[in-house]
Amino acid sequence: MVKQVNLMVKHIVDCLKSWYVFLTFGGLLLAIVSMGPYAVIVLIPAVFAVVFVHSLQPRIVHKWTFLIQMTWQTLCHFWLHYKEYYLQETTDIKFKIALSSLMLLTQRVTSVSLDIHEGKIKIPAQIIQQHRFDAEILSYSFPFFSYMLYFPALLGGPLCSFQMYKIHMENLKKSDQKSIAKPLWSFFYKCILFFVLNMLRVSVRNCVSVIKRSDKRSLQWDVPNDIFMIWATALMFRLAYYSQWLLSESLNNLVGLGLVNGSIQQFTLSDTDIWTLETTNKISEFVRVWNKTTAGWLRRMVFQRSKLQPFISTFAFSAWWHGLHPAQIFGFTLCAATVKVDYRVHQYMGPLTAQSRFLRLFYKVMTWMQTQLVTAYILVAVELRTFSCVLELCKSVCAVSPLVYVLMLIGMPNKPSKN
């Protein structure tokens, strides 16, 4: 008995010496400060996820973990619907923060369970078969619990795989003091960009507010005003996302995540690609690049695993994951239709403009403007969420832009691919 106690103490001491405890304690502290009592909304599923991962067989772990996690998240979203739409109450901001963190937790939980299901993570059979708490289970489970709640990803992305997280934590033990400078440089660089983008967002918001005060009309076919208001409102939302992604990435970089030899892994641990998002003339590319790690997670969870209509299933699940607010359902349905048409438009028009530089430039400018309008229209709908927002957007002249794409989806056949 004494030997087992000493062994357990040794395992606990080893855990306390690791970075896992630092990142987990930071996550718990951040959850309590930012969410208050609503922190239990995140802590409860995090604990249960670790239990399921270590108690269920690999062939069923993803199915049950996914269903239970999404059920819990859906119930929390329905509670928000009940308070906002039925009771007409103003929801506590701390509850919204907790709900947003829960959505990010769902990504990490389901990513781990799918990794186990696919054999990328091996859980020792003796861990699954044991139904008691001891030092071995504690030492093996703690990295998983730390991954669920580590503070850089608690309130923001990007999504990091458990394998990358664990390898990085183990490498930190071997790193020297000189390696601290590079993460600090990346952290401060992205923090500066964060403040610059936030100042731009405030400027755009003030501009929109001034125009709203000077023009009391609703969006009713005033073409210049409608286009500018939709575009400026969407820009305000985009800048908010860009700044939040950069801040989240900077926190990850601060602890070394996303950095290899001091260079940033732009395509493995980053959600931000502002240049592509603002210059692309393809709606499909905008959707793939927007919040890149979440888009990759949706592709892996749904698109690659769905046997029936994977394209539609992916957008339907995205609406479910976001909370099934009325305008979100409208926005994601519209997004799916416009992405589908976008593929067809570029299939037909790309070869026709390839021979002329002028036509190619004209085509890119026009499709860029269309992409800006359509994505702005969808983003405003998804962010404002309410049914009244849908009605207001339908009155706007900007509704013509996505409507043209919807009509093209009906009238333009899919061009057969060449073998």
Residue 68 has pLDDT above 90, yes or no: yes
Specify the pairing of strand 259-260 against strand 263-264.
Answer: antiparallel
291 is catalytic: yes
Q: Which of 68-82, 138-152, 283-297 has the lowest mean pLDDT?
A: 138-152
77 is catalytic: no
- Provide the token pair at 18: 């690791």
**Long-range Cβ contacts of 186-193 (<8 Å, 24+ apart):** 186/250, 186/253, 186/254, 186/259, 186/262, 186/264, 187/250, 187/251, 187/253, 187/254, 188/250, 189/250, 190/246, 190/247, 190/249, 190/250, 190/253, 191/246, 191/247, 191/250, 193/243, 193/246
pLDDT at 314: 94
pLDDT at 212: 67
Nearest CA-CA partner of 117 in 50, 57, 71: 57
% residues pLDDT > 90 (the chain)? 42
pLDDT digits (tens, 9 = 90+) for 115-170: 999 989 887 766 665 655 555 666 778 889 999 999 989 988 799 999 988 888 87
As a whole number of Å, the CA-based R_g of the chain is 24
Q: Which of the residues 54, 291, 325, 346 is marked catalytic?
A: 291
Q: Which of the residues 81, 198, 225, 322 is marked catalytic?
A: 322
Contact predicate 190/249, CB 8 Å? yes
Q: For residue 274, give the H/E element and its range.
A: helix 274-279
Give me the count of residues in the chain.
Answer: 419
Average pLDDT over residues 381-385: 88
